[in-house]
Chain A
Amino acid sequence: MATHTAEPAAAGAAAVEHLTLEDRVWLLRAMLLMRGLEERAMTLYRQGKVPGSFYDGYGQEAVSAGAAFAMGPRDRLCILHRDLAAHLIRGVTPTRILAQYMGRAMGITGGRDGNVHFGDRRLGCVGMVSMLPDMTLVATGMAMAFKLRGEQRCAMTWFGDGSTSRGDFHEAMNWAGVQKLPVVFILENNQYAYSTPLDKQFAVDPVERAAAYGFVGVTVDGNDVEAMFEAARAARERALAGDGPTLIEAVTMRMHGHAAHDDMKYVPKEQVEEWRKRDPIERQEKRLRDLGEDVDGLRASVKAEIDAAAEEALAAPMPDPSTAIDGVFCAGEAEPLGDGQAPWSGFFGGEA
């Protein structure tokens, strides 16, 4: 089996080859929506309208937007907490996301779980748990079922640099390698696990472990949404061809604290400033402006959408306390995950 180590993903021309102008605008729009929604949610948090704490993915928008964009409607996703764009691409509405943050009944979990712990089962997504990276195994199991049934589908999951230290990371990589499963692992390397830097987390770059598990590992600029898309697209193609899993290390930076309470004083200011120059949204905006796209118009339409969503979500009722003990068990038939939205033009040819 051919394995590659830390092979730089082909971005640029290769990505553009598979993306129409409309796709490239879609990618920017997903990132703008993610950033705008998270900024609005942070404001709502400060106003006391978001209970608990608040976690965001500022500066990491390209990782989830680019990767999720390459997934087909029948593929299945296990999404992490700094990956809001993946939910948007699958078709979760901004209103339901803001309602989710505020613990409203119309939120994706109906107030059952905290802000970023959600996945819309009807759109093929499973929400994360706090124990990381538990969902790597769940995604591996989905891929196992796809392979057993001979289906042309793949599973994708995101996890951070810190979670590569835990046993479930090893168990999932090993299992997927042994069974050569159609699963795409996105290692979102944002430099810090809460306050812990990379050099306290691993002795070798974890992307190099892919070769040890018998499959391809690639390192991608996680702040380039088109490079992320291209790496995920190629990984999915490999998965569907029966060539097994791919580990994609998306190199990015957590620009905010772990959560709203975290002032991030353990991060050198220069490091943040350096990464600010590589903002994924500015980068995609420049590309599109250079092509003559009306980026300001897009920004205005995204803002209007968020304003409307916030208004609707703020008016939505809280859950009824009398329902707090309902639904621990499924009382009817077990209904599997449904299909999600897949806006990439590559799927318009009728691929299901």
Chain B
Amino acid sequence: MDDSEYTRAKRRRARNLKLWLAFLLAPPAAILIIFVFLPMASAVVYSLYDWNGLVRKEFIGLDNFADILFNPNKNVILFNAFGNNVKVFVTLMIVQNGIALVLALLLARNPRGFRFYQVVFFLPVILSTVIIGFQWKMFLNPIFGLVNKALHYAGLSEWALPWLGLPETALPSMLLVNSWHWFGFPTLVFLAAIHRIPKDFIEAARLDGASEWRIAREIIWPLIAPAVTIIVVLTFIGSFNWFEIPYIMNGLEGSPQGSTDMLGLLFYRTAFGSVSAGGSDFGSGSALAVLMFIFIFIFSIIATKYLTSREVEMS
């Protein structure tokens, strides 16, 4: 084989490889661009225009943003919903993830029935939120629901409240339902992280007579920091996108009295119209979406940075 023939063959092979790579990458890239990146970018553009239903009218700069943030008739609703999302995040961090951490620490001691617990705790996670929302809505029905029936049988009739109908109890009830739905997920993520800690770390501490509480606090907690980071960020994103449970259990308006209103519900009402918000408003809806995205994005970055800084290397 002479020299030029060799380079020609090489070039042909390089060109074929390029074609092959293009063939592999083009379809997935096209799907992602058309159905994710393009709509995300368009949302920003949409938020800068005035809209009349489905029809785009003139460019109005940041007026949509100013309207939802500073118009006193509208921002009351926005801030109320935002406050509720904050409550959701804080409560889920404490209740859902706190219980999950305790359960993970217990399961890490490999109790009898380990496999059984693992499967049972994960069972609600795989169920549809729609099923769980309706199931608990029926259980919490003030007259026919099992929760109040149980309270009556236990002689606690005065405790039998219309749980989803009172502003004080509606959101806490939903948060308990959400915790019931999801606690298995952080439990198993924490457990997997604990399992990755070298056994001798914990054994050595136990031999030295350290209490289980000290082992949990001083060895396990710092070493599962990466898992904690992930769960905090996922809980945050989930809390500020919270939609399904409040929608199914108490509807689009966040009743009673806005006590279960969320940014996700407000976004839906603004974008697609409702009894209270009137017709659909694509401009304000997009502006709200952009604000939510920026907020979630910035928090996730800050939280990841801050939480990662306390992570330690295991070796």
Do A and B make up one complex? no
Interface residues of B (CB under 8 A from A): none
